[in-house]
A and B are shown apart, each in its own frame.
Chain A
Amino acid sequence: MKAASFSYVKPAALNEVFDLLARHGDRARVLAGGQSLLASLNLRLSAPELLIDITGVPGLAGITVSGGTVRIGALTTHRQIERSPEVARHLPLLAQAVRHVAHVAIRNVGTFGGSVALADPAAEYPACAVALDAILVLAGRGAERRVRAREFFRGLYDTALQPGELVIAGEFPVSGEAYRSAFLELARRRGDYAIVGIAAHARLAAGRISDARLAFLGAASKPVLALRAAALLEGRPLDAQAIAAAQATLEDDLELPADLYSSRATKLQLARVLLGRALGALNG
């Protein structure tokens, strides 16, 4: 299908973006890479009057490391994240996850900020941001604020973004040497949205696991931490018994709404399998 008619503008500064958003309100949509937005326009799931292309705004792309934090600018593409030595070194969870984001031709264009702002519950970055306790930097006219990813994602395509605000960056804390990461997902076809996925990050020392952050994607209306499973694992040797116990408690941790293809029982089974594999990978 073809998109309905809209106007297009490509401002060269952030202030112009805020002016346009103030003037046009929810009749305008922000266009970054457009890899989800243009698809939804073509399908006429959305019909804004104005697209504000922010890719001409300087300073919103790139990955920098300073003071124990990796900052990823909103306009950084998936491909740049995939190829970044800083991400590979400091954020191995994200480096594993990005390879599951759609396909090469989409990763070349789609952006970090776009994925975060869309807040699809089956997307990879939101779960990673929750697992790693990242901060999202939001900017509006004359003000910038920082919101923990754990508070930013509120529900299906619903975030803490206020009208007139943009995600301009994500700040990920670099974790210590003893931390390990595993990102796994199950999809019908590589690159499709996950049926269920897990972003797992934990400390492993002397064979014991602690500070486990087990963020699931596709398991609720937003990325969700399996808190009971993590509490049960805290301080234990990561053996078969501990893994089985964590798997058994997932039923209480995850909402797992059925979708068109998978029942709750199927999703629960897949989540348990993924948790087992992820914990095994952390141990390996």
Chain B
Amino acid sequence: MDQTLLTTLIVNGSAVTRRVPARQHLSDFLRDELGLTGSHTACEHGACGACTVRVDGAIVRGCLMLAVQANGRRVDTIEGLSDSGELADLQAAFHRRNALQCGFCTPGMLMAAQDLVTTRPEATREEIREHLSGNLCRCTGYQAIVDAIDDVLAQRRGAKT
């Protein structure tokens, strides 16, 4: 039988405590236990980036972290970032630039994009591509995604001056 451990984490600002099977990864915990199905699971070995979430402010692969490893930590998902309005300009730019088609990769793309625009506001197109190299999209060919992020970088730089 699975060993379970009492695990407490702050998910999108709210404390959550559950008994969690040791082997359950963070993405399954968020999706199956908390109903936060915005983080997607596809490859489940760290190649595709669809499960990207933030733990203590840094983006990570939800499929490569056990839920019990997140004990005592702050987890932010696409739902939290979307509800708070933190992603509003990125979401609008993705819409405007047609930067999604099926949308499966989009939550992970937005999490990675937000990490870039907050940590590297001067990023070039080449650096955008480098930063997104861990997120696969099978629809768009990436060009429109890079365009959308490039727009937001320019907007946020403009808003500051």
Contacts and interface: CB of A to CB of B under 8 A. Distances in A.
- Tell me, yes or no, whether A binds B: yes
Given A35-B64, A51-B66, A191-B133, 14 more contacts: A2-B25, A3-B23, A5-B2, A39-B46, A42-B45, A43-B45, A104-B131, A105-B112, A106-B61, A106-B134, A109-B60, A109-B65, A190-B129, A190-B130
A38 B133 contact: no
A2 B22 CA distance: 12
A103 interface: yes
Q: Quick one: which of A4, A8, A38, A105 has the most chain B CB within 10 A?
A: A105
Interface string B96-137: 000000000000000010010000000000000111011100
7 contacts: A3-B25, A4-B23, A8-B5, A8-B22, A35-B64, A55-B69, A106-B46
A190 B46 CA distance: 14
Contacts of B49: 103, 105
A255 interface: no
A124 B45 CA distance: 20
Nearest to B23: A3
A8 B3 contact: yes
A6 B22 contact: yes
Interface in A66-114: 79, 102-106, 108-109
A34 B23 CA distance: 13
Interface residues of A, number: 31
A43 B25 CA distance: 13
Smallest CB-CB A-B distances: 8 pairs: A103-B134, A8-B22, A39-B45, A190-B133, A108-B58, A7-B3, A105-B59, A3-B23
Contacts of B3: 5-8
Interface in B1-17: 1-3, 5
A105 B52 contact: yes
Nearest to B2: A5
A2 B21 CA distance: 12
A148 B46 CA distance: 31
A53 interface: yes
Contacts of B151: none
B44 interface: yes
